[in-house]
Amino acid sequence: MNAYEVIENHQLVIEHFGQWPSFHDGEVHRLVLDRMRQRSNGSYYPSIELFVRGWIMTSEVTEEGYYKLVHDSVVHFLFEEVGELELDGLNHQNVLSGLEFEKRLDEKSNANLFVELSHCYGLSGSFTATKAKVVSVTPYAK
């Protein structure tokens, strides 16, 4: 089982891209930290909404000499009951080396997913979450 398979609606990403993208050279467009989500008992918990632009790089070369990119889109993720948050380097572009997921079972926090935003330029970081979901996949519009 791939770690991304614990993400609810992960099949939306696979259906759109034809595979799970690495998000190499993808950009974090938006990151929302929220402490106001509520459980049914009224207690609050932290969440992160992450909007990441990604694509699939082909072996074809464009007239400009770059590899052709297909399925250029923004994936909207929601991570709930977030812990162990570490972020660094937010700026105007926030290019990732990759977006990586690792399945974990942390009995102390109930976290079952470790998320790493691998550094390339700008934002990087990591966190854990007990639940994750793909909210949407939207074609990128310049």
**pLDDT digit string, tens, across residues 57-113:** 999 999 999 999 999 999 999 999 999 999 999 999 999 999 999 998 766 667 689
Q: What is the pLDDT of residues 16-36, one digit of tens each?
A: 999 999 999 999 999 999 999
Residue 117 pLDDT class (50, 70, 90 cuts): very high
What helix, strand, coil percent values describe the chain, rounded to 5?
10, 65, 30
CB 95 within 8 A of CB 122: yes
pTM over 0.75: yes
